[in-house]
C-alpha cells in the first residue's frame, strides 16, 4: 500500500482535506453551539471560545491490516491510528464519544490544556465510560500544536487506541508547503501477548531477581532476538512489531511529493514502552516545535522522542526515494515510512541510514521560541518528584509511593510551582503533567515549553509551571507499564 | 524485556541521603539541623567557612569534582578536535573556570578532613539525587571519534547537558548550605554555566 497523506498547508488550514479535515467534517450533526455551557466554565483559556467544532469518536474492536498482517485490536473508528482530529486554537470542541468496546474506557486529550472535568481520567476528573455507554466532551483548545488522544484506563493505550489531534494556529507563519503526521508505536496486540499478559509476566518473572527477567519462558510470543544490552536502556518490553502510521516496515506509509517542497513532520510517540530515534535518510531535520510549542529552530540528523512526546520538524525534500527510519532505543527491530519524490526502488527495510549514527537531538539544546516562554518568576512552591523502582518486584514509585498510596503534590491557583524531577533508576522516564504546559528549566528561562519530558537515567530535570487550570491533575511516567505499576501521582489545587 | 542492575547507585544514595536530610533545614541558621547525618564523617558546621563541612557540602564537593573533571576532559577534546573557533574559545573558557574550582573544592575536602571520594557504603535509601549530566564512557568515545562540524555539534549538545547538570547540583546545594564559601562557588557555577549554556545553545542553533 502506498497512501498519499500529503496535505497542503492551505488545505489543512481550511479543514478541507486530509486526515484532520475529514474527521472534522464527517462528525457533524452533533451539537450546534446550542448545548448549554456545562459548569464549571470553560477553562483555562481567558479568551472567549471560538467557533464550535463538533466531532464524533467511537472506540471499538476492529480488524486492521498493518501491512500484510491483519490483527484484531481495539481502535478509534476503523483504523490505527484513528483519524486525526483537527481544530483551530480557540475553538470550542465537542466530541460525542461512544464506547463500543467490551470494557470500560476513557479518552485523555494528551497535552491539551482542557478544563479539569474533560481531562478523561476515571476516578479523578471524568467518569469512566461503560461498555455501550457514551460521553459528551466539551472543551476549548487554547493552544495550537501537535497533540494526541488515548485512553487513560489501564493498558488500553498499548492497543490501537490512539490518534493525533492537530490544533492549527490562526496566525501560523506557515513556512512550509505541506505536512505529514507520523504516529510511532510499539505493537503486540493480536500478534504477541496482550498488554495485560505482558504486565502479569513482568510482575511474575521480575520477582525472580538477578537475571531472571532474561529467562523469557513465560513470555509466549515476545520477540527476543538480537536484544541490545549495551547502550541506553529504552524499556522493559521487546515488541514483535514497530509501526509508523499503523504500518509495518515492509509495507510502509508513503509520502509522495515533489522534490524541493518543505514538509512539516508532526511526530507523535504513541508507544507504551519504547523511546524512538527518528531520522530521514539523506535529509536534515529542522526541529521547530515540541509538545505543540515553538522552539528556536535547530538542525539535527536524528531526534530522540520519548513516549507521549511530540516533535515537529521541517524537511526540504531531496529527489529520490528515502526511508524515514524509526529505531526503538535499546531494542531490536525498526519501523519506517517512506518519502518518494522521484523514481527508484524503496531500499530494503534492513537499511539503517547513516543519519541514525549521529548524536540524537534531545531536549537539552532546545530554546523556547520568543513568546513561548513563561513569564519570568521565582517559584512559590518547590516540590520533589523522585522516580524510583525495581525490575525485581516490578514496582515503580514517585516519592517512594505507588499511586494507590500516593500523597498528591499541592499548589494554589495563581502560584508558580517548580517540580524537581529526580530519576533514581537506570532507565529514562517520560514524565507527563496533565492540564499544564510547563517550561523546562525555569519559568522565563530558555528551556522549551513541554507537557512530557524525558528524564535521563540517574538524571534530573526541573520544570516550572503556572497554576492556572484548577483541578486534580495526573502527573505520571508515560511508560504505560510503569504507570500501571504505580509510577503516578496527582497535582491538586488547594482551596 | 530484561533485568537491570539495582536502580540506585551507592553514590547517588549517599547524596540523596544528605540532601534529603538537609532540605528542610534550608531556612534555619546554626548547626545541628541535620539529624541522622553523623555517618558522613564531618561534624556540623556552626559558622560559615570553618574547618568542618556539613554532609551536604562534603557530598557536593565530592560529586562536583569528578563532574568538573569530565568537563575539563571534554574541553581538552575540543581544543584538539573542534573545527569552530567559537567552540575552541568556549573550551578555553570552561577549562579556565573549572580547573581552579576543582582545586578549590579539593582544598575544602582536605580542610574538612573528608575523603576526596564519597564513601559508597554510606548510603541510605532516600531516593534520587545524582551526578547530573555526566557523559557515559560510550558518549566520550563517540565524541573522541567525531570530527569537524559533527564534533562541534556533538560537543555542544553534550556540554549543554553537562552544564545543566552542574547548575542543578549547585542549585540543590544552595538550598541547604550555610557555608559562605560553598554558597559563593555554587552561585558562581550557576551564573557562569547558565551563561555558557545560552552561548552554546545559540552556537548549536546557528
Residue B25: predicted pLDDT: 31
* Residue B187 DSSP SS3: helix
Residue B52: predicted pLDDT: 78
Nearest Cα of chain B lies from the Cα of A58 at a distance, in angstroms, of 33
Residue-wise pLDDT for A198-221, tens only, equals: 999 999 876 333 322 333 323 322
Residue A351: predicted pLDDT: 86
Q: Do A460 and B2 touch (CB under 8 A)?
A: no
Q: Tell me: pLDDT of A85 over 90.
A: yes
**B26 shares contact with chain A (CB less than 8 Å):** no
Q: What is the mean pLDDT of residues A439-452?
A: 95
Nearest Cα of chain A lies from the Cα of B101 at a distance, in angstroms, of 23
Residue A234: predicted pLDDT: 74
Beta bridge partners of A455: A429
CA atoms within 13 A on the CB side of B70: 23
How would you write chain A as a 3-class SS string?
Answer: CCCCCCEEHHHHHHCCCHHHHHHHHHCCCCCCCCCCCCCCCCCCCCCCCCCEEEEEEEEEEEEEECCCCEEEEEEECCECCCCCEEEECCCEEEEEEEECCCCCECCEEECCCCCHHHCCCCCCCCCCECCCCEEEEEEECCCCEEEEEECCCCCHHHCECCEEEEEECCCCCCCCCEEEEEEEEEECCCCCCCHHHHHHHHHHHHCCCCCHHHCCHHHCCCCCCCCCCCCCCCCCCCCCEEEECCECCCCCCEEECCCCCEEEEEEEECCCCCCEEEEECCCCEEEEEECCEEEEEEEECCEEECCCCEEEEEEECCCCEEEEEEEECCCCCCEEEEEECCCCCCCCCCCCCHHHHCCCECHHHCCECCCCCCCCCCCCEEEEEEEEEECCCCEEEECCECHHHCCCEEEECCCEEEEEEEECCCCCEEEEECCCCEEECCCCCCCCEECEEEECCCCEEEEEEECCCCCEEEEEECCHHHHHCCCEEEEEEEC
Residue A49: predicted pLDDT: 65
Q: What is the mean pLDDT of residues A147-159?
A: 98
Chain mean position to CA A210: 33
Residue B151: predicted pLDDT: 95
Give the closest of B3, B6, B160 to A364, CB-based. Answer: B160
The set of cell numbers assigned to A366 is 532546545
Range from A160-174, A205-219, B143-157 carrying the lowest mean pLDDT? A205-219
Beta-strand pair A134-140/A92-99:
antiparallel
Give one word for A438, left, alpha or beta, with left for phi > 0 and alpha for psi -120 to 50: beta
Residue-wise pLDDT for A279-303, tens only, equals: 999 999 999 999 999 999 999 999 9
Burial (Cβ within 10 Å: 0-12, 13-18, ≥19) of residue B59: buried
Residue A452: predicted pLDDT: 98
Q: Do A231 and B156 touch (CB under 8 A)?
A: no
Nearest Cα of chain B lies from the Cα of A386 at a distance, in angstroms, of 6
Q: Tell me: pLDDT of A375 over 90.
A: yes
Residue-wise pLDDT for B91-108, tens only, equals: 999 999 999 999 999 999
Residue A257: predicted pLDDT: 97
Contact A276, A331 (CB under 8 A): no
Q: What is the mean pLDDT of residues A253-274?
A: 98
Give the closest of B1, B12, B160 to A236, CB-based. Answer: B1
Residue A296: predicted pLDDT: 95
Give the closest of A238, A297, A420 to B205, CB-based. Answer: A297
Q: Which residues contact A357 (CB under 8 A, 6 or more apart)?
A: none
Q: Do A210 and B198 touch (CB under 8 A)?
A: no
Q: Give B 68-127 residues with CB within 8 A of chain A.
A: 127
Give the closest of B7, B157, B201 to A388, CB-based. Answer: B7
Q: Tell me: pLDDT of B30 over 80.
A: no
Residue A272: predicted pLDDT: 98
Residue-wise pLDDT for A337-367, tens only, equals: 999 999 999 999 888 899 998 889 999 999 9
Q: What is the mean pLDDT of residues A110-121?
A: 97
Residue B53 DSSP code: -
Residue B48 DSSP code: T
Residue A206: predicted pLDDT: 64
**Mutation target among A364, A390, A431 for the B interface, most CBs of B within 10 A:** A364
Q: Tell me: pLDDT of B123 over 80.
A: no
Residue B138: predicted pLDDT: 87
pLDDT, chain A, mean: 86
Tell me which residue has cell 470553560. Answer: A42
Residue A277: predicted pLDDT: 97
Q: Tell me: pLDDT of A256 over 90.
A: yes
Residue B34: predicted pLDDT: 33
Predicted TM-score of the model (pTM): 0.83
Residue B117: predicted pLDDT: 86
Q: Tell me: pLDDT of B35 over 70.
A: no
Contact B51, B111 (CB under 8 A): yes
Q: Tell me: pLDDT of A91 over 80.
A: yes
Q: Tell me: pLDDT of A13 over 70.
A: no
Contact B72, B25 (CB under 8 A): no
Range from A186-195, A449-458, B37-46 carrying the lowest mean pLDDT? B37-46
Residue A142: predicted pLDDT: 95
Q: What is the mean pLDDT of residues A467-478?
A: 98
Range from A50-54, A319-323, B59-63, B123-127 carrying the lowest mean pLDDT? B123-127
Residue B133: predicted pLDDT: 83
Residue A22: predicted pLDDT: 32
CA atoms within 13 A on the CB side of B206: 12
**B199 shares contact with chain A (CB less than 8 Å):** no
Residue-wise pLDDT for A376-432, tens only, equals: 999 999 999 999 998 888 999 999 999 999 999 999 999 999 999 999 998 999 999
Q: What is the largest CA-CA distance in chain A?
A: 64
Tell me what percent of the residues of chain A surpass a pLDDT of 90.
77
**B16 shares contact with chain A (CB less than 8 Å):** yes
Residue A172: predicted pLDDT: 86
Q: What is the dihedral of CA B94, B99, B104, B107, to 10 degrees?
A: 160
Amino acid at each position: 500500500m502506498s497512501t498519499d497523506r500529503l496535505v497542503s498547508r492551505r488545505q489543512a488550514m481550511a479543514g478541507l482535506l486530509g486526515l484532520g479535515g475529514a474527521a472534522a467534517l464527517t462528525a457533524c450533526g452533533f451539537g450546534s453551539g446550542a448545548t448549554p455551557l456545562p459548569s464549571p466554565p470553560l477553562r483555562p483559556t481567558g479568551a472567549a471560545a471560538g467557533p464550535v467544532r463538533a466531532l464524533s469518536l467511537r472506540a471499538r474492536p476492529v480488524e486492521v491490516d498493518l501491512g500484510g498482517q491483519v490483527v484484531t485490536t481495539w481502535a478509534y473508528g476503523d483504523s490505527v491510528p484513528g483519524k486525526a482530529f483537527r481544530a483551530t486554537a480557540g475553538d470550542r470542541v465537542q466530541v460525542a464519544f461512544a464506547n463500543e468496546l467490551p470494557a470500560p474506557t476513557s479518552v485523555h486529550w494528551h497535552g491539551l490544556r482542557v478544563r479539569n472535568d474533560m481531562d478523561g481520567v476515571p476516578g479523578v476528573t471524568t467518569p469512566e465510560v461503560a461498555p455501550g455507554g457514551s460521553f459528551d466532551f466539551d472543551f476549548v483548545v487554547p493552544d495550537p500544536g501537535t497533540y494526541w488522544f488515548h485512553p487513560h484506563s489501564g493498558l488500553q493505550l498499548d492497543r490501537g487506541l490512539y490518534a493525533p489531534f492537530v490544533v492549527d494556529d490562526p496566525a501560523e507563519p506557515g513556512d512550509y508547503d505541506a505536512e505529514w503526521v507520523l504516529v510511532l508505536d510499539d505493537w503486540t496486540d493480536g500478534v504477541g501477548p496482550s498488554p495485560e499478559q505482558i504486565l502479569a509476566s513482568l510482575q511474575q518473572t521480575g520477582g525472580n531477581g538477578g537475571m531472571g527477567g532474561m529467562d523469557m519462558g513465560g513470555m509466549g510470543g515476545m520477540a527476543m532476538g538480537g536484544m541490545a544490552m549495551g547502550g541506553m536502556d529504552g524499556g522493559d518490553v521487546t515488541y514483535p512489531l514497530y509501526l509508523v502510521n499503523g504500518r509495518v516496515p515492509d509495507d510502509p506509509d508513503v509520502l509522495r511529493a515533489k522534490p524541493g517542497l518543505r514538509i512539516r513532520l508532526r511526530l507523535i510517540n504513541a508507544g507504551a514502552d519504547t523511546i524512538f530515534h527518528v531520522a530521514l535518510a539523506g535529509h536534515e531535520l529542522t526541529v521547530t516545535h515540541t509538545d505543540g510549542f515553538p522552539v528556536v529552530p535547530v538542525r539535527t540528523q536524528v531526534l530522540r522522542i520519548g513516549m507521549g512526546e511530540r516533535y515537529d520538524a521541517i524537511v526540504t525534500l531531496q529527489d529520490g526515494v528515502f526511508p524515514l527510519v524509526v529505531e526503538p532505543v535499546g531494542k531490536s527491530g525498526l519501523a519506517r515510512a517512506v518519502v518518494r519524490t522521484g523514481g527508484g526502488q524503496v531500499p530494503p527495510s534492513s537499511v539503517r541510514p547513516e543519519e541514525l549514527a549521529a548524536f540524537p537531538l534531545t531536549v537539552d539544546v532546545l530554546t523556547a521560541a520568543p513568546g513561548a516562554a513563561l513569564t519570568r518568576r521565582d517559584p512559590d512552591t518547590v516540590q520533589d518528584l523522585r522516580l524510583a523502582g525495581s525490575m525485581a518486584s516490578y514496582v515503580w514509585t514517585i516519592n517512594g509511593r505507588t499511586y494507590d498510596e500516593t500523597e498528591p503534590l499541592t499548589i494554589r491557583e495563581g502560584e508558580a510551582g517548580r517540580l524537581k524531577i529526580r530519576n533514581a533508576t537506570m532507565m529514562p522516564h517520560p514524565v507527563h503533567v496533565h492540564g499544564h504546559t510547563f517550561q523546562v528549566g525555569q519559568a522565563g528561562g530558555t528551556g522549551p515549553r513541554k507537557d512530557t519530558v524525558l528524564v535521563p537515567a540517574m538524571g534530573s530535570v526541573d520544570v516550572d509551571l503556572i497554576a492556572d487550570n484548577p483541578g486534580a491533575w495526573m502527573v505520571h511516567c508515560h511508560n504505560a507499564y510503569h504507570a500501571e505499576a504505580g509510577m503516578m501521582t496527582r497535582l491538586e489545587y488547594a482551596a | 524485556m530484561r533485568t537491570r542492575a539495582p536502580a540506585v547507585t551507592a553514590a547517588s544514595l549517599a547524596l540523596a541521603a544528605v540532601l534529603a536530610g538537609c532540605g528542610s533545614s534550608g531556612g534555619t541558621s546554626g548547626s545541628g539541623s541535620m539529624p541522622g547525618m553523623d555517618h558522613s564523617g564531618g561534624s556540623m558546621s556552626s559558622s560559615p567557612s570553618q574547618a568542618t563541612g556539613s554532609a551536604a557540602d562534603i557530598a557536593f564537593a565530592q560529586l562536583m569534582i569528578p563532574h568538573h573533571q569530565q568537563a575539563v576532559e571534554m574541553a581538552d577534546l575540543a581544543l584538539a578536535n573542534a573545527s569552530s573557533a567559537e567552540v575552541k574559545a568556549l573550551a578555553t573558557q570552561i577549562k579556565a573556570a573549572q580547573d581552579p574550582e576543582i582545586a578549590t573544592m579539593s582544598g575544602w575536602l582536605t580542610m574538612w578532613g573528608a575523603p576526596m571520594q564519597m564513601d559508597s557504603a554510606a548510603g541510605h535509601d532516600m531516593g534520587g539525587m545524582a551526578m547530573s549530566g555526566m557523559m557515559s564512557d560510550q558518549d566520550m568515545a563517540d565524541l573522541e571519534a567525531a570530527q569537524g562540524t559533527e564534533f562541534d555539534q556533538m560537543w555542544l549538545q553534550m556540554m549543554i547537558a553537562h552544564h545543566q547538570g552542574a547548575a542543578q547540583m549547585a542549585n540543590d546545594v544552595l538550598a541547604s548550605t550555610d557555608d559562605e564559601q560553598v554558597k559563593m562557588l555554587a552561585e558562581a557555577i550557576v551564573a557562569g554555566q547558565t551563561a555558557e549554556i545560552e552561548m552554546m545553545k545559540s552556537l548549536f542553533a546557528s
